[in-house]
A and B are shown apart, each in its own frame.
Chain A
């Protein structure tokens, strides 16, 4: 007998004996999700999917939401924006979900936004690109930090160290290209000069030519910033060490997973990156408001999934919890009312930071949500 059937019978029996309508007879609240569980972004989508399943099970075990069970309808788009859009339509028309937590990459999220906006269903994206929430769309939210914030955090750290001439090396993929644009845009505000601007393609296996160009640029550079995720930054980091560049190297939050340190090896020593508090959960001071949240998530995830947490799964946790709290506050599963409740999210403490949503800010994070981290002795070290 399946566990679901067993618990349904148990609840049914209990309800009969009390003469109340059985809770299980009420339709479950359906939450939709489209994630890139396979394909090139699988290292993002896989922990996201695991997190959603894990926490929806837990919420159901403790009584569900509004007395109803939650039901997750999850599709895997394989990283393909076209498939994501098809699944988005299916979630709206066939599955009749009340809200959506998903969209692993900026590309798949942007493809799905029009579908959910037209259906007037709240959509909490788990992707980084700032285009998702700027300009603000009525029903679209996101939980991860933006690439613009990553640039600002890095430049802020550079300014503190008195470094102003920066070499930028970015991947031509969606994330790298978008972060490059944002970094170029915000650099002047921090007094940073982008002295060199090099790029490499997805799947490139050798970036020594680009780094050599950066090293030999007129006037030299005082630091190098790499905007990309996946294997590219690992190769950049190795080539950087090979060439003995002799200046600090900054990576983005896109490499905030254990595999980056493994792939880059000893070359990763001394690399700095902005990342969410989750990455350094144990090192947070005890009075940090995020500490209990990130420690609880980390312990539950690692003990049930047998793999280290990544900040990407944390984004899914934040998205789901913001949604669940909003449904509770709205006391309804009506799309517009849930949306209004999400907008009223104040002081929500998630793995990504403290979230304060508003009519004009559908992400609700500020720069304090990012921590500057350095890789030392093969592990993350909190700097500030």
Chain B
């Protein structure tokens, strides 16, 4: 029992980060049909900028804000100088552009920062909390709570603000949105900026637990992509469900089956989803008009 609970704690913490990465994928996918493979680099930037600002003497909350700002600006620049000039190109071309952008961001980060692993102090102590024989770090609660807060704020913005409605309108039908006077370019820029912010926040929350370096983005992008696929690409609720489910699956597989094949779980999930359930758990069924 305590064993199962330990695996669940472990899975939910990792899963919350996958969920935030998947959410970033979803936002941009909805606004543009592009799968932004530079999403993992936002997570990396969040962690690395915070680490270096903090090491330079900036208080942790300010360092975190600075990191989020850097990620937002990176997202906007990515949109302005990589996606926008290629407007009208096919989704596949744009996806390849994002892969190139992710390699560029990683390369620049290696020059600006270094190639070592770094850590941050936990926000509220390192003393684990014991629950029914299992233990959870206070930082895990920060990750779970932070992820829940981000999802809630995002939901409010999407449902209650004009900008959010514009994003949803663009997601539903880009041409119709443009006809009613929505600036879809602005909406897309907004999506990139917000994705950057969400990624950076995930990176800041998780760094005290998992450590960070300039190379952490790649694997997180793949895992987040698997989570988004599992939940149903384009569905924000699906992204969160998919992320948590993937984290749990990995942790339970490592705990009960074999730890050697933990990373394979994410990729088996992608294959299974593609073969059996192409629209994901909560995705809308793609309808091709003929």
Residues of A bordering B, CB below 8 Å: 38-40, 42-43, 172, 198-201, 203-206, 208-210, 212-213, 216, 230-231, 234-235, 238, 241-244, 259, 262-263, 265-267
Contact = CB atoms under 8 A, between A and B. Distances in A.
B145 to A, nearest CB: 18
Contacts of A42: 115-116
With a 10 A CB-CB cut-off, give which of A39, A212, A259 has the most chain B CB atoms. Answer: A212
Nearest 10 A/B pairs, CB to CB: A205-B210, A209-B255, A209-B254, A231-B117, A208-B10, A210-B259, A242-B128, A212-B6, A201-B263, A42-B115
A212 B254 CA distance: 10
B233 interface: no
B210 A212 contact: no
B69 interface: no
Contact of B251 (A43, A209, A244, A267): A209
A201 B265 CA distance: 12
B263 A206 contact: no
Given A206-B209, A208-B10, A200 B259 contact: yes
12 contacts: A203-B216, A205-B211, A206-B209, A208-B6, A209-B10, A209-B254, A209-B262, A213-B255, A235-B210, A243-B128, A243-B135, A259-B116
Nearest to B114: A42
A226 to B, nearest CB: 13
Nearest to B119: A263
Contacts of B117: 230-231, 234, 259, 263
With a 10 A CB-CB cut-off, give which of A172, A209, A230, A267 has the most chain B CB atoms. Answer: A209
Contacts of B211: 205, 231, 234-235, 263
A237 to B, nearest CB: 11
Interface of A is mostly: helix
B124 interface: no
A205 B209 contact: yes
A205 B43 CA distance: 14
Interface of B: 3, 6-7, 9-10, 13-14, 110, 115-119, 126, 128, 130, 135, 137, 206, 209-211, 213, 215-216, 219, 251-252, 254-255, 259-260, 262-263
Contacts of B135: 242-244
Given A40-B215, A234-B211, A205 B14 contact: yes
A266 B126 contact: yes
Nearest to B115: A42
Contact of A216 (B3, B130, B210): B3
With a 10 A CB-CB cut-off, give which of B206, B209, B262, B263 has the most chain A CB atoms. Answer: B262
A242 B110 CA distance: 31
Contacts of A38: 110, 115
A214 to B, nearest CB: 10
B267 to A, nearest CB: 12
Contacts of B137: 242
B255 A212 contact: yes
Given A205-B209, A234-B211, A259-B117, A210 B14 contact: no
A200 B219 CA distance: 15
Contacts of A203: 215-216, 219, 263
Contacts of A216: 3
A216 B252 CA distance: 15
Given A216-B3, A242-B128, A265-B126, A172 B14 contact: no
Nearest to A215: B3
A39 B263 contact: no
A235 B208 CA distance: 10
A209 B119 contact: no
With a 10 A CB-CB cut-off, give which of A200, A230, A242, A244 has the most chain B CB atoms. Answer: A242
A372 B119 CA distance: 27
Nearest to B137: A242
A231 B7 CA distance: 21
Contacts of A204: 262-263
A316 B126 CA distance: 38
Contact of A210 (B128, B206, B254): B254
A238 B128 CA distance: 11
Contact of A201 (B6, B209, B262): B262
Contact of B210 (A39, A206, A262, A265): A206
Given A205-B211, A231-B213, A243 B115 contact: no
Given A38-B115, A205-B209, 9 more contacts: A43-B116, A208-B6, A208-B7, A209-B255, A213-B259, A234-B119, A242-B137, A243-B128, A244-B130
B264 to A, nearest CB: 9
Contacts of B130: 244
Contacts of B219: 203
